[in-house]
Structure 1
Amino acid sequence: MLDLPLWLWLVFAGVLGLLVGSFLNVVILRLPARLEAQWRREAQEELALDVADEPLPPGIVREASHCPHCKHPLAAGDNIPLLGWLMLRGRCRYCRAPISIQYPLVEFLSGVLSVLVVWKFGPGWAALSGLVLTWILIAASGIDFRTQLLPDQLTLPLLWLGLLLSLLPMFVLPASAILGAALGYASLWSVYWLFKLLTGKEGMGYGDFKLLAALGAWMGPGALLPVVLLSSLVGAVVGGLLIALRRHERERPMPFGPFIAMAGWIWFVAGDPLLQGYMHLTGLR
């Protein structure tokens, strides 16, 4: 890596994170619609039905950004992360429709978390790998929060990348990565079926199993219990606040994937200090 001061790397990470965050917004909005259209076509073909000649939703890379209301292409200045939304005061330049707060929030989150990853690991391949993990977790969380869907297109590459990095090894040894992936999937799979047998309802989706398996591949089996406990705590707090603020209906299912992703990222960058602090508070050391 280039011999540059850490602060300069952090600035670069922040700018890169903002730019990637802008792209993550595109992924969050367009990937589910694209997948649903493809599934609909495949189902029609499988059932030997006439396939409706409807155009596929915009792709993730090729189609230029546009207003979701009036469909007008956005100017280059409108796409500047954070600044574009602020300069437009949260409204489309052409139709004056409100622009979702999701756009600046995702960009800001991507920028801040990218800085923290580079600050944690320092310039190097570990930080680059951590950035990829961070960005995929943000995209997966955004999609799950909006649609209650965790696409295999995000969770499975994250799982395989964690297993491949263990061959270097980057964060854990291969045996830990394989065991972490297997136990991560099996643990939530078991909870899913136990809950379904007891209540007749589905408490979570298969995407949650794959996401925890991916985190197990990155951090090993020792991270699974803290991640599950932390995700349950974060989910309870955030869910309670949303219900109290009437931003979420009690009867409406709340996706668990974003809380697994939050807890996994927190443990990834701060697991050791958190564990040491817990052991100190409980007198286990």
Structure 2
Amino acid sequence: MLDLPLWAWLVCAGVLGLLVGSFLNVVILRLPARMEALWRREAHEALGLDAGEEPLPPGIVREPSHCPHCGHRLRAFDNIPLLGWLKLKGRCRHCGARISLQYPLVEAAVAVLSVLVVARLGPGGKALAGLVFTWMLVALTGIDLRTRLLPDQLTYPLLWLGLLLSLTGLFVPAPMAILGAALGYLSLWSVYWLFKLATGKEGMGYGDFKLLAALGAWMGPGALLPVILLSSLIGALLGGALIVFGRHRREVPIPFGPFLAGAGWLWLLAGDALWGLYAQLAGWR
């Protein structure tokens, strides 16, 4: 480990977060489109239909960044996180179309979250794992908000990484990680089927089960109930506020994945502090 002061590590975390945030924007925008195109191609093949010559959307790694409106390839400076968007004043240099606020917001958010992870966990392997955990949750949150999908391409690696890290005991030992993953999946799976049998409707998607299983693998079974309660509370408050102020129609479902991701991130970094605060408020201390 390099002998650097904490502030230097925080600066490095912020810069790295900006760069990763720029890449996560690509993942959030391109992965669902690529998945849907592949699903259509597979469905045509399964039904014996001619899939035609529909080109696949751009991939995540090989295709360079370009304007989604006119397809103009971005210059190197335009791709600099935050600075490029500010320099262009939020518009494409070629066609003048507006560039979504998602780009600078995700980059800034990932930078801030990365700094908080290193500040909380300290420089070292635990912080590195926490950064990967954070970045994957940001990608899942962005995709779920846009498409109501939690892709297996992200939830499964997050799950397996949590299980593998448990072999080192970095966050929880392996038995607790395995139990947390199993209980995480089965708890929401049970709620899903009870709700469906009672109402005939689907209250959540299978991606939510897998995400909670991944969180259980990282933090063990003891974190599951607090994460579910915290995510439900945040979801109820935010969803109610959006409906009251007319930002969301009552009949349109609100994705639960972002609330699970946010609660899981908070609990990984500050679970002990949150539990202590709850105990104090409840009069246990």
Alpha-carbon shift at residue 84 of structure 1 (Å): 1.4
Q: In structure 1, what is the equivalent of residue 56 of structure 2?
A: 56
Alpha-carbon shift at residue 118 of structure 1 (Å): 0.5
Q: In structure 1, what is the equivalent of residue 129 of structure 2?
A: 129
Q: In structure 2, what is the equivalent of residue 88 of structure 1?
A: 88
Q: In structure 1, what is the equivalent of residue 154 of structure 2?
A: 154
Q: In structure 2, what is the equivalent of residue 215 of structure 1?
A: 215
Alpha-carbon shift at residue 191 of structure 1 (Å): 0.5
Q: In structure 2, what is the equivalent of residue 176 of structure 1?
A: 176
The answer to whether 1:7 aligns with 2:1 is no
Alpha-carbon shift at residue 245 of structure 1 (Å): 3.7
Alpha-carbon shift at residue 177 of structure 1 (Å): 0.2
Q: 2: distance between equivalents of 1:266 and 1:100?
A: 27
Alpha-carbon shift at residue 284 of structure 1 (Å): 1.2
Q: 1: distance between equivalents of 2:82 and 2:273?
A: 32
Q: 2: distance between equivalents of 1:242 and 1:90?
A: 26
In structure 1, give the amino acid aligned to 2:257.
G
Identity percentage of aligned residues: 75
In structure 1, give the amino acid aligned to 2:92.
C
Q: In structure 2, what is the equivalent of residue 25 of structure 1?
A: 25
In structure 2, give the amino acid aligned to 1:241.
A
Give unpaired runs (5+ residues) of structure 1.
none
Give unpaired runs (5+ residues) of structure 2.
none
In structure 1, give the amino acid aligned to 2:83.
L
Q: 1: distance between equivalents of 2:51 and 2:276?
A: 58
Q: In structure 2, what is the equivalent of residue 247 of structure 1?
A: 247
Moved more, 53-62 or 43-52: 43-52
Q: 2: distance between equivalents of 1:139 and 1:4?
A: 30
Q: In structure 2, what is the equivalent of residue 232 of structure 1?
A: 232
Q: In structure 1, what is the equivalent of residue 35 of structure 2?
A: 35
In structure 2, give the amino acid aligned to 1:67.
C
Q: In structure 2, what is the equivalent of residue 273 of structure 1?
A: 273
Alpha-carbon shift at residue 246 of structure 1 (Å): 2.8
Alpha-carbon shift at residue 169 of structure 1 (Å): 1.2
Q: In structure 2, what is the equivalent of residue 78 of structure 1?
A: 78
Alpha-carbon shift at residue 141 of structure 1 (Å): 0.5
Q: Deviations over 1:181-209 (max 9, x none)?
A: 00000000000001101111000000000
Work out the number of aligned pairs and report it.
285
Q: In structure 2, what is the equivalent of residue 167 of structure 1?
A: 167
Q: 2: distance between equivalents of 1:148 and 1:244?
A: 22
Moved more, 208-217 or 237-246: 237-246
Alpha-carbon shift at residue 280 of structure 1 (Å): 1.2
Q: 1: distance between equivalents of 2:172 and 2:255?
A: 29
Q: 2: distance between equivalents of 1:24 and 1:54?
A: 26
Q: 2: distance between equivalents of 1:242 and 1:30?
A: 27
- Moved segments of 4+, more than 6 Å: none
SS of the equivalent of 2:246 reads coil
In structure 2, give the amino acid aligned to 1:59.
G
Distance 1:81 1:36, change over 3 A: same
Q: Deviations over 1:48-104 (max 9, x none)?
A: 111221110000000011111111111111111112112222111111111111111
Q: 1: distance between equivalents of 2:41 and 2:133?
A: 31
In structure 2, give the amino acid aligned to 1:279.
A
SS of the equivalent of 1:38 reads helix
TM-score (norm 2): 0.98
TM-score (norm 1): 0.98
Moved more, 88-97 or 169-178: 88-97
Alpha-carbon shift at residue 259 of structure 1 (Å): 0.5
Alpha-carbon shift at residue 30 of structure 1 (Å): 0.1
Q: 1: distance between equivalents of 2:230 and 2:70?
A: 42
